[in-house]
Every structure is written in structure tokens, then in C-alpha cells.
Structure 1
Amino acid sequence: MLSIKDLAVSFKTRRGEVDAVRGITLEIAKGETLGIVGESGSGKSVTSYALMRILDAGGRIKAGEITYSGIDLKRASERQMRDIRGREISMIFQNPRAALNPIRKVGHQIEDVLIQHGRATRRTAREEAIKALEAVRIRDAEARYDAYPFELSGGMCQRIVIAIALACDPQLIIADEPTTGLDITTQKAVMDLMADLIRERGMSSLLITHDLGLAAQYCHRIVVMKDGELVEAGAADELFASPKHPYTQKLVDATPRHDATIRDLLPAEIRTPMPEHTPADKPLLEVINLVKTYQGKSGPVHAVKGISFSVKAGQSVGLVGESGCGKSTTSSMIVRLLDRTSGEILFDGKDIGEISCRDFIKDPMRSQIQMVFQDATDSLNPRHTSRQSIAEPLKCLAHMGAKERTARIEELADLVGLPRPLLDRFPHQLSGGQKARVGIARAIALNPKFLILDEPTAALDVSIQAVVLNLLVDLRAKLGMSYLFVSHDLHVVRLLCDHVVVMKGGEIVEAGPANEVMENPSHPYTRELLSAAPKPPERKAA
């Protein structure tokens, strides 16, 4: 169905031409799901953008051939491509909220595609759009038709994007990191849904992901990319069980498994002894009967329902649960981005919940509580370079001089593995993994006592994830930092956290030592979370 031969893609930059894809060759057969895996910046997404002919203005297909069902996509006119996009080849983008128009009802966005490709008239479009919503198993599709993206959860927005992609019954679906940032049960529901629809409709699909467990579970074949080149290809089970290329071996070894430690996931050459840390007996943070209630159109909405837990000095506590369970609301109240409805937030013995969000900005404790946000793109100022973003807390809260600030910024860049030349780049010039590192560097700039990490490794490839987690372990040991690690990735939580708190529907349903909760979960919901996690095949012993 699809054939790519010797594809080369380059981008013009101020410093000259950059080769993003260098002579790759691959094929997708009818009914096949092909996975492309590799690190951030390896050329995975650029390959798909070249295929769809949606490269940025500075990008161009330098060489090679792209043939879809006998059509030469490289030489097709823009008018032909507009007809092919959506009708023959559809794409599911990484960030569903960014892919949807925020000021247009989701039903109307599905109608746009149907009308554009002649699959519906103005009169029949609403009915066909509702059918498309029902096809992706959205409950009460008629009501959701009139919803705006901001009124829906991340998982629901992803289903809307899938509905748009499938509306015209395309023959090829390109899914670019379709579950990044989704909780583990929603991820499984979305991937199972895609797999079912692809199978029922006899479509082919291209799954781009950094999650090797996900690729192993849903793909027939996998190709591995590194630095714009294809380094290995093969059947999914075979490639994971017996990887041939050193880079593939590195990726497989870095994939979190049930019995792995962080040091097991690191390349051998950078493994160091695990630093010792002993959490103090005294809590640094105590959350007592914390409640957050919003006033909705049809009455109060209880986002957090009287939860209590504590984090000791030097301890790492994992907060896990589905989208909408109250994890992010809880962490936003602790970092004082949201005011509580009731309850106490004791930090170093002081109830910081009594201080309004507006006043807390000026409080001396502000520098001691920092946050790494889930979406690195949205949390960085698009007009600031990496250097300026990392400098912000140093200027505003530490009042450092220019010389001292420059030295600290470069030290932080080295700490998080961000090459110094990237300090002068803007967010749009960085990969997802690089942007995440900038966010972490900014958060640790002031050596805070307490760090809230909201899905900090969700967008990172596995080898970078291992290095970042290792960095967080080292920082906690060296600086005595405490972490509240908000995540849906239970493998990662078990690697980093001493203690786990499981939330569902605004309440805590289970809490305890990480190993105990992971090995012997007592609540059915915790067992459901654990069973939903993708499990990569075991690598055969050499």
C-alpha cells in the first residue's frame, strides 16, 4: 500500500541545512500495522510529515520516492494532496488539544472533514458526525457533538481526533504518539479502540511511538530510527526478544520492566553506585482533609473529596490514577496555583493553604516548592530561549547577577543533559524531550526542598527517561529534595517512589509502600491499573 524508498528530508536553518531524515526505506502492506520507534529527534515524525506533505516552510524532501497505492506523493500537486489527506491517508497527532480548534464545537470539526471530502452534505453532516462519534464509543454522542475541546478530558479529546481521522474511511492511518499524556487505562482503551477499528475496516496503520511496550503490543513489524536513519527492522516479537543493533539493544534495555531498577535501565558506561538516602521521620508536607469544589452549571462538582497524605523530607511519593481523578487539582493546590475549598496544606509546619495564590508569589516559601509540568511546550514561553526560561526563577526569586546566573544556567543544562548550544534556541526549535529537560532545569534552579513532577517523562523516549529518572534520584540524594511524582506510568512510579497514593474519583482508594502496593494491590482499581500497563516482551539472554 505504501512504499518509501531512500527518503531524505532537510531543513533550512540560520546555521545552514540540517538533514533530519537520511535515506530511509520502508513499506506498509494492506492491513498491516507498522511501528516506528526511536528517540526524540530521530526523524520519526518528520518522516510522517513528509509522507503527508505537511513539512514546515523550511523543510523539503531532498531525495527519494513516496508511493501510495500507485500515486507518487512526492510529485502530487497540493490540490491532489488536499484530496488524499483525510480521504485516503489520515493522521492522529500527538497533542489532541492542539490538533482541535479550541473555539469550534467538536461536532462541527468532524462535519468539516465530511463535507470537504464529499462524504456528507450540509443537511446530513450532523447525523454523520454523530455516527462518527458513536464509532469511537463516545457515550451520549449527541450531547458531545455540541461540546468544545476544553470541556472534555484528554482521553475524550483523543477519541474526537480519532473520529475526525476515521470519518472518511481512509485506507492508511498515521498515529503520531497517539497516547502520550493519557493515563494507563485510557491509553489501553484508546489503543484497543484503534486496533479494533483498523481491523474491522481493513485499514493499514503507521504507529509512531517512543513506548516500546506499546509498539510490541500493537504492531506487526517495527522499524527503529536513530539520527534520521533506519538502523533495524523486523517482526515485533523477534526484534524485542533478540535485538541486533547496539542502539536497539540500548532501547530495549532502557524499557522499564516489573523487576528493573533505574540503574538497570541506564547504559553500562554511565551507571554509578545508587546514592543512599533515608527519608526523615518528620513530614515536610502534610495534606489534611483537602477539598476542592467547583460550581458547575448543574450544581457543585467535587474534584477532590477530603484527602489526606504526607511526604517526608527526602521522600518520593507517587500519586497515580486516571484522568479526572483529582491528581492535577491536588498538585495545583499544593504548589498554590489553585486555592483550596477547605482542609489544610502544611509545609514545614506552616499552613500555606491560608495564603492566597496571588500572595504566595511573594512568600519566601515560594522558592522552596517548584513544579515540572506535563506539557513542556505549553509551559515554556514561546518567545523565550531555553536560557531565558531557565533564568526566570534565578532573576525573580534569587536575584542573581548576570555572571553568576550564566554559570548556574550552564551548570543546570549539564545536569539535565541539555547540550549548551541548545540554550539559545526557542521552544519550537527543540524536540519534545529537549523541552522537557528545559522545564526540569528551570524547576530545580533554586534547589527547592519540594518538587512536584506532573508526568515529567511522559513525552520522553525510554533511554532519555532513564537518564532523567536517574538524575532525579541523584538530586534527591544529594540535595535532600522531596518529590510528589504525578504519573500514570506505574513502572516509572515503582522505580522512583518510596510510597504510592492511588486516587479515583477525587478520593484516595489505596496508599502504602511502593513495592507492597505494586506486588499485592488490595483495591480492585489498583489491580485494574496494573493490568492495563503494556508489557514489553522479555529480551532473550545473550
Structure 2
Amino acid sequence: MLSVRDLAVTFRTRRGDVPAVCGVGFDLAPGETLGIVGESGSGKSVTSYALMRILDAGGEIRSGAMTWNGTDLRNAREAAMRKIRGGEISMIFQNPRAALNPIRKVGRQIEDVLRQHGRATDRDAMGKAIAALEAVRIRNGAERYHAYPFELSGGMCQRIVIAIALACEPKLVIADEPTTGLDITTQKAVMDLMRDLIRARGMSSIVITHDLGLAAEYCDRLCVMKDGEIVETGPSAALFARPSHAYTRKLVDATPRPGVGVRDLLPAEARTPLPVHEPKAKKLLEVVDLVKTYAGKSGPVHAVEGVSFSIREGESVGLVGESGCGKSTTSAMLVRLLDPTSGAIVFENEDMAAIPADRFARDPRRGRIQMVFQDATDSLNPRHTAADAIAEPLRRIAGLRGKALDARIDELADLTGLPGHLLRRFPHQLSGGQKARVGIARAIALEPRFLVLDEPTAALDVSIQATVLNLLADLRARLGMTYLFVSHDLAVVRLLCDRVIVMQSGRIVEEGAADAVLEAPTHPYTRALVEAAPKPPRSEVVLRAVG
């Protein structure tokens, strides 16, 4: 039903044309789910935008053919493409909140698509929009029809985007990173929902992702892209079992999975011995009956309810759970960005909860507790260079100036593996992995005793994630730091953490040694998290790597 041949796409820039897709070709059969996998910048999304003819300004299809059920997509008139988009081929975009109009009710946004393609009239549009909401398993569709995107969770917004994409019953759905940023149970629910609806309606689908575990679980066939080219293609199971291209082997090796250590994620030539690091018996942090309550319309809302735990010096502890479980609120209170309603945060035998958050920002003790934020892009000032970002805590808290400041910045760049020439660049001139290194360098600038890592690798490609995780493991051993690793990725937590704490609805439901909890969970909620995690098949390459 879809045939792509020798597709080439370039973008015009001030420095000349930049090739983004180079000679890509593939076919899609009716009812098939094709996965396009690869790292950021490989050309996955550009390929799908070319199919839909929605390339950004400056983007141009230079050569190749795209045929959809006999229609030449490359040369079709815009009027014809408007009928095809949404009516025959629809797209689920990566960021559901960005894809939705923030000042328009979600029900109205579904109606817009139905009306545009002649699938609804003024009389029946509302009823069909509610039916579309219920089709994606949104309860109380009539009530949710009137909701705005900001009133809904990320998973709910993703369901709305799916409802819009499927409203006109297209024959092909393109899902571009449909689960990025979602917790694992929501991710599984969204992917299962997409798979079930697509099968029930006899549609085909293209899933674009950098998550190899997800691709293996939900796709019939895979195309692996690198630098704008397809380097390998084949059935999912066969491609994972026997990857033939070096790049595919690199992606498979870098995917976290049971039975391998953090060093095994790196290429063989980079697998230096991991420094030995043992946590001490002494407690560095003790949290006692921590509570955070917000005022709600119908009474108090308990974000965190009576949480208690301790962390030893040099220990790495994972804090896991779904979105809304209270883990980010807990971590924000620990680093004193948020005041608790009640409870104690005893750090180095001193109750930090007694210091108001606004005062702690200027307190000399600020440097002993630091945080690496989830989105490296959002956490860096776009008008400051990498050197400025690293220098900020050194200037404000340590009072460094001149040559001493420059020397410390160079030292931190070297420590985090950030090339010196990148220090003069702004965030938009850095890759995701480079921005992550800047964020880590800034966080460790004052030699903190305790570091909170809030989903530091959530948006990174698997090979960059592998590098960052190994960097964190090395820094912990070399600097003797203590970590609280906040994440919904259980495979990553198992790699980096000694113990794990599981939160649900503001409470701790299970904790213990990471391997024990994730291998044989005792609480039903923990079991649900473990079962929902994508499990990439073990390839022959991986089996050789782990003996």
C-alpha cells in the first residue's frame, strides 16, 4: 500500500544545503506494523514528514518516489494532500501537549478533524467526538469532551492525540515517538491501545522510536536508520537475534537489559574496569514522615503522605513509580526547592526541612545538595554558554573569579568528558548528550555530598544514555557522591542503583535491594511496573557479551 524509493531530503541553511535523508526506500503491506529505529538526527522523523509533505521551511524532497495506493505523494497537489492527511494517512506526534491547541476543548479539536474530512455534521459532530474519546478508553467521554489539554495528564493527552489520529479511520497511522516521557505503565497502555485499535480496524502503522525494546515488542519488521540512510532491515525477531550491521549491534548492545552491567552497554574498546565502590554504613540522609499537601477545590490534596527512608554515604538509591506518584515532589523537597508541609529531612545530622526553601537558595549549604534535572535543554539558560552555566554556582556560592574560576570550569569539563572547545557554545549548539554533561558538570561543581538525578537520561538515545550512565557511575566512585536516582525506567535503575524505593499515590509501597525488588517484587504495584517494562529480545551478540 505504501512504496518509498530512493527518497532524498535536504534542508537549506546559511552554510549551504544539508542532507537529512539519503536514498531511503521501503515498502509497507496492508495490516503491517513497520518500526523505524535509530538515534536522534538519523532521519526517522524527516522521512515521515516527507511522506506527509509537512517538512519545515527550507526542507525539500530532492529525489525519489513515494507512492500511496497508486497516488504519487511527491507530486500530488496540496488540495489532494489535505484529503489524504487525516483521512487516509494520519500522524501521532511526539509531544501530545504541543500537538494540541491549549485554548480549545479537546472534544472540539476532534470535531475539527471530523468536519474537515466530511465525517461529521453540526448535528452529530459532538456525539462522534465523544465516541472517539471512548474508543481510546477514556472514561466519561462526555465529561472529558469539555476538558482543556492542561487539565489532563500526559498519558491522557496522548490518548486524545490518538483519538484525533484515528477519528476518520485512516488506512495508515504514523506514530512518531508516541511514548517519549510517559511512565512505563502508561507507555504500555498507550501502545497496547494503538495496537488493538489498529488491528481491529485493519490499518497499517509505522512506529518511529529510539526505544529498541518497544520496537521489538510491537513491530513486525524494522528499518534501522543512521545518518539519513537505512543500514539494515528485516523481521524484528531475526534482526535482534542476529544484527548484521555494526550500528545495529551497537544499538542492541547499548540497550539496558537484565544480566549485563553498566560497562557492557559501551562498545568493547571503551569497556575499562569499573571502579570498585562500596557504600558506607553511616547514614548521610534520613527522611522522617515527610508530608506535602496542596489545597484543592474539594479539599486538601496529598502529594506525599508520611514518607520515611534513609540513604547511606556513597549509596545509590532508585526512586521509582508512575507519573503523579509523588517521586518528583519528594526529590524537590529533598533538594530544598519545595517546603514540606511536615516531616524532617536530616542531612549530615541537621534538619534541612527547618530552613525555608527561599532562604536555602542563598545558603552556603546549598552546594552540598545538588540536582541534575530531567530536561537538560530546559534547565540551561539559552543565552548562556556552557562555560557560563557551569560557572554560575561557582560564582554565586563559592565566590570564584578570574583564573581560579576558569581553571575549575576546565577541570569540570574534563571530569565530565566535555571537550573544551564546546564550552564556548550555547545550548542550541550542543547535542543532547553534551547538554547532559553540562548539567552534570554544573551540579557537581561545588563537590556536593548528595546528588538527586531526576530522569537524567529519559530523552537520550540509547548510546548517549549508556555514556551518561557510565559517567555517573565513574563520578560516584571517584568523588564518593551519594545518589537518589528518580526514574520510571526500571532497567536503568537496576544498572545504577544499590537499592530501590517504589512509590504509589504518595506512599512507599516497597523497598529493598534493587536486584531483589526488580527480580521478585512482592507488592502488586511493583509487579505491575516490572511486567509493563519493554523487554528487548536477547540477541546472539548480547549473549556472547555476557558469556
Q: TM-score range by the shorter chain?
A: over 0.9
List runs of 5+ in structure 1 lacking aligned partners: none
Q: Could you tell which deviates more after superposition, 478-487 or 383-392?
A: 383-392
- CA deviation map 1:437-474 (0-9, x unaligned): 44334333433222211221121222221111111000
In structure 2, relative to structure 1, the CA distance for the partners of 1:81 and 1:346 (3 Å cut) is: farther
In 2, the alpha carbon distance for the partners of 1:49 and 1:125 equals 29
Output the amino acid matched with 2:369: I
In structure 2, relative to structure 1, the CA distance for the partners of 1:418 and 1:111 (3 Å cut) is: farther
User: Paired residue for 2:376?
Assistant: 376
User: Paired residue for 2:501?
Assistant: 501
Residue 486 of structure 1 and its aligned partner are, at CA, apart by 1.0
The answer to whether structure 1 residue 278 and structure 2 residue 284 are counterparts is no
In 2, the alpha carbon distance for the partners of 1:510 and 1:499 equals 11
In 2, the alpha carbon distance for the partners of 1:329 and 1:10 equals 44
User: Paired residue for 1:134?
Assistant: 134
- CA deviation map 1:369-416 (0-9, x unaligned): 222222334334444454544444344334443655555556555555
User: Paired residue for 1:111?
Assistant: 111
Q: Could you tell which deviates more after superposition, 5-14 or 462-471?
A: 5-14
User: Paired residue for 1:477?
Assistant: 477
In structure 2, relative to structure 1, the CA distance for the partners of 1:393 and 1:484 (3 Å cut) is: same
User: Paired residue for 1:50?
Assistant: 50
User: Paired residue for 1:520?
Assistant: 520
Residue 335 of structure 1 and its aligned partner are, at CA, apart by 1.9
What are the residue-to-residue correspondences of 1:31-46 with 2, within 5 Å? 31-46=31-46
In structure 2, relative to structure 1, the CA distance for the partners of 1:87 and 1:425 (3 Å cut) is: farther
User: Paired residue for 1:443?
Assistant: 443
Q: Could you tell which deviates more after superposition, 414-423 or 39-48?
A: 414-423
Residue 292 of structure 1 and its aligned partner are, at CA, apart by 0.9
In 2, the alpha carbon distance for the partners of 1:421 and 1:81 equals 45
Q: Could you tell which deviates more after superposition, 288-297 or 532-541?
A: 532-541
SS at match of 2:22: strand
What are the residue-to-residue correspondences of 1:4-153 with 2, within 5 Å? 4-153=4-153
List runs of 5+ in structure 2 lacking aligned partners: none
User: Paired residue for 2:155?
Assistant: 155
Contact 1:185 1:529 in 2 (8 A): yes
What are the residue-to-residue correspondences of 1:183-262 with 2, within 5 Å? 183-262=183-262
SS at match of 2:518: helix
In 2, the alpha carbon distance for the partners of 1:436 and 1:109 equals 36
Q: State the TM-score, normalizing by the size of structure 2.
A: 0.93
In structure 2, relative to structure 1, the CA distance for the partners of 1:230 and 1:414 (3 Å cut) is: farther
Residue 148 of structure 1 and its aligned partner are, at CA, apart by 2.2
Q: Could you tell which deviates more after superposition, 56-65 or 212-221?
A: 56-65
In 2, the alpha carbon distance for the partners of 1:12 and 1:397 equals 45
SS at match of 1:190: helix
Give the paired residue count: 542
Contact 2:212 2:252 in 1 (8 A): yes
What are the residue-to-residue correspondences of 1:340-489 with 2, within 5 Å? 340-401=340-401, 405=405, 408-409=408-409, 412=412, 416=416, 426-428=426-428, 432-489=432-489
SS at match of 1:216: helix
In 2, the alpha carbon distance for the partners of 1:397 and 1:83 equals 59
In structure 2, relative to structure 1, the CA distance for the partners of 1:147 and 1:369 (3 Å cut) is: farther
In structure 2, relative to structure 1, the CA distance for the partners of 1:448 and 1:114 (3 Å cut) is: farther
User: Paired residue for 2:511?
Assistant: 511
Output the amino acid matched with 2:135: A
Output the amino acid matched with 1:91: M
Q: Could you tell which deviates more after superposition, 238-247 or 453-462?
A: 453-462
Contact 2:433 2:468 in 1 (8 A): no
The answer to whether structure 1 residue 317 and structure 2 residue 317 are counterparts is yes
Contact 1:181 1:455 in 2 (8 A): no
Q: CA RMSD in A?
A: 2.2
In 2, the alpha carbon distance for the partners of 1:68 and 1:426 equals 42
What is the identity percentage for the equivalent residue pairs of Structure 1 and Structure 2? 72
In 2, the alpha carbon distance for the partners of 1:36 and 1:24 equals 11
Output the amino acid matched with 1:309: F
In structure 2, relative to structure 1, the CA distance for the partners of 1:142 and 1:370 (3 Å cut) is: farther
Output the amino acid matched with 1:282: K
